[in-house]
Amino acid sequence: MVRLLTLSLMLVASTVAFAQKKVHQTDAAPAPIGPYSQAVEANGLVFVAGQVGINPDTKKLVAGGVDGEVPQIMQNIQQILKAAGLNWSDVVNTTIYVKDLANFQKINTLYAKYFEKDYPARTTVGVADLPGGASVEITVIAARRK
């Protein structure tokens, strides 16, 4: 039993150790404001870094609070997914960080427009603050289809 467990652990460790990592970057979405990538792919999963409602052309947060920010965030994410050869139907998980949970229903309405069916798993987290005065930040994980 111990031998089988040891062998299993070695197999898992070797799989993780040899995982290929690929960075995805596009000028059609805002450049990172810190030491991170727009998206990183490993083992067929693409992890998109948290996006706020920054317009990539002006490099400024869009006006309008949640109503302006969520569509811009989703557009930014869409461009990053496109750079990775993916689209909204490939998204399997999202996390939404929001400063005011009173905007939960409004965010749901805006968010839902980007998915046709089979919504991804999602977590929404209320937070005290977000970078650059943003009201909302969204991260996604997408899975490459085989």
Q: Dump pLDDT digits (tens) for 88-132.
A: 999 999 999 999 999 999 999 999 999 988 999 999 999 999 999
User: Does the pLDDT at position 4 exceed 70?
Assistant: no
The sign of the torsion formed by the CA atoms of 57, 59, 63, 69 equals: positive
Q: Write down the CATH number for the domain with range 20-143.
A: 3.30.1330.40
HSE at residue 64, side-chain half, CA atoms within 13 A, is: 14
- Residue range 42-72, pLDDT digits in tens: 999 999 999 999 999 999 999 999 999 999 9
- The amino acid sitting at 44 is G
User: Does the pLDDT at position 7 exceed 50?
Assistant: no
User: Does the pLDDT at position 8 exceed 60?
Assistant: no
Q: At 18, is the pLDDT very low, low, confident or very high (cuts 50, 70, 90)?
A: low
Per-domain boundaries in the chain: 20-143
* Chain position carrying tokens 């309008």: 64
DSSP state of 44: T
Q: Do residues 28 and 79 touch, judged by C-beta distance below 8 A?
A: yes
